[in-house]
């Protein structure tokens, strides 16, 4: 593999909150233009890993390199110009307009004491346009739907002009259609040469759109690599500690086999209720 193609390189990384180890022996490489999906159970440290990747948290040991430079040697401003983050929670008390929210993405390109110019505003508008949500520009961010919010936040991140985008569960709490819409939009972003790492709770989302997958469980990576080779029944069992069936069907319109997975949980396996439950 061409070394200059590596955007993110994680070597022997370990992270701990105080004495409580979250994960260790973590090795992962993300290439330019990859859409990598990070899967794992609740609380296995996916979000923690993302927060290490944009320098918000520091590893206990090991190293993360961004385009070949160790992240702890990069100034925060350089990281913000390279890496955009779409967070899962949005917690402001103030009903900013959509355009104001997207403009915030210009942060890394403006000094502490300046405000966005007309040029920044044009960039924000074209980012909204690219994500198909230009019509929302004057709406209150707090009043738009979950799917629209996610697209607006992605637009804000694009406004940052990053080369890497990290997304923490971009499809969480979205309905069926909006999940597909957001995933499709994320897929389109990689066509522009962006490198994307997203976490998800849906293995099917990885099968649907990711080039590469990293599976986390038991405080480390179960496996990582190309989606087709990594997403196996045995790997998913190791990741989620339940039986998983992977099914392949022919999808005539696209002339290809598509794979999807189903958990197989039988009520009998879950033990008996005690008599006093009802």
Partner 1 sequence: MRCAVGTCSKADPGRVLHENMTIRPKILIMIALPLAVFFVSLFIGRLVIDPVTLIKVLGVKLLHLPIEKDWNQAVEIVVIRIRLPRAIMAMMVGAGLSISGAAFQGMFNNPLVSPYLLGVSSGAGFGAALGIILGAGAGLIQVSSFGFGILAVVLTYLTSRVYKTTPLLMLVLSGVIVSSLFMSLISLIKFVADPDEKLPTIVFWIMGSFGSTRLEDLFLTFWPMAIGVTGLLMVRWRINLMSMGDREAKAMGTRVELLKGIIIFCTTLISAAAVSVCGIIGWVGLVIPHICRMWVGPDHRALLPTTIMVGASYLLVIDNIARTLTSSEIPLGILTSIIGAPFFAYLLRRSKGIFN
Binding of partner 1 by 139 (CB under 8 A): no
Binding of partner 1 by 56 (CB under 8 A): yes
The whole-angstrom separation of Cα 87 and Cα 170 is 8
Give the nearer residue to partner 1 in terms of CB position, either 16 or 125.
125
95 neighbors 140 (Cβ within 8 angstroms): yes
Among 45, 84, 170, 203, binds partner 1 (CB under 8 A): 84
| Dihedral sign (CA 180, 181, 186, 191) | positive
Binding of partner 1 by 33 (CB under 8 A): no
The stretches of the chain forming alpha helices (DSSP H) are 46-53, 76-82, 98-103, 118-130, 146-159, 176-191, 203-209, 227-230, 233-240
> Least distance from C-beta 59 to partner 1, angstroms?
16
Among 40, 45, 108, 170, binds partner 1 (CB under 8 A): 108
Binding of partner 1 by 109 (CB under 8 A): yes
> β-strands 256-263, 244-251: how paired?
antiparallel
Binding of partner 1 by 30 (CB under 8 A): no
Contacts of 267 (CB under 8 A, 6+ apart): none
Binding of partner 1 by 182 (CB under 8 A): no
99 neighbors 138 (Cβ within 8 angstroms): yes
Among 11, 67, 100, 243, binds partner 1 (CB under 8 A): 100
Binding of partner 1 by 161 (CB under 8 A): yes
Among 126, 204, 220, 232, binds partner 1 (CB under 8 A): 126
Binding of partner 1 by 72 (CB under 8 A): no
Tell me which stretch binds partner 1 (CB under 8 A): 111-119, 198-206, 242-250, 252-260: 111-119
The whole-angstrom separation of Cα 262 and Cα 107 is 42
Backbone angles phi, psi at 139, to 5 degrees: -75, 160
The whole-angstrom separation of Cα 246 and Cα 227 is 13
Binding of partner 1 by 60 (CB under 8 A): no
Residue ranges that bind partner 1, judged by CB under 8 A:
51, 54, 56, 76-77, 80-81, 83-85, 87, 90-97, 100, 104-105, 107-110, 112-116, 122-123, 125-127, 129-130, 140, 158, 160-161, 189, 192, 194
């Amino acid at each position: 593999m061409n070394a200059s193609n590596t955007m993110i390189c994680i070597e022997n990384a370990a992270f701990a909150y105080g004495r409580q180890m979250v994960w260790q022996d973590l090795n992962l490489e993300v290439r330019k233009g990859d859409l990598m999906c990070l899967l794992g159970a609740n609380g296995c440290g996916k979000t923690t890993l993302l927060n290490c990747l944009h320098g918000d948290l520091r590893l206990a040991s090991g190293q993360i390199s961004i385009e070949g430079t160790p992240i702890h040697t990069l100034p925060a401003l350089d990281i913000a110009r390279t890496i955009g983050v779409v967070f899962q929670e949005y917690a402001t008390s103030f009903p900013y307009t959509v355009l104001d929210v997207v403009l915030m993405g210009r942060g890394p390109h403006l000094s502490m004491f300046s405000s966005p110019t007309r040029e920044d505003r044009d960039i924000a508008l074209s980012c909204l346009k690219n994500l198909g949500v230009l019509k929302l520009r004057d709406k209150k961010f707090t009043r738009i739907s979950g799917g629209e919010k996610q697209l607006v936040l992605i637009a804000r991140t694009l406004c940052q002009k990053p080369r890497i985008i990290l997304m923490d569960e971009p499809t969480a709490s979205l309905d069926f259609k909006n999940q597909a819409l957001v995933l499709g939009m994320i897929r389109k972003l990689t066509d522009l040469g962006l490198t994307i790492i997203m976490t998800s709770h849906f293995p099917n989302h990885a099968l649907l759109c990711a080039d590469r997958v990293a599976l986390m469980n038991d405080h480390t990576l179960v496996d990582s690599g190309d989606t087709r080779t990594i997403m196996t029944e045995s790997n998913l069992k190791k990741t989620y500690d339940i039986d998983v069936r992977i099914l392949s069907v022919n999808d005539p319109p696209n002339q290809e086999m598509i794979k999807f997975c189903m958990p197989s949980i039988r009520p009998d396996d879950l033990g008996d209720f005690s008599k006093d439950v009802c």
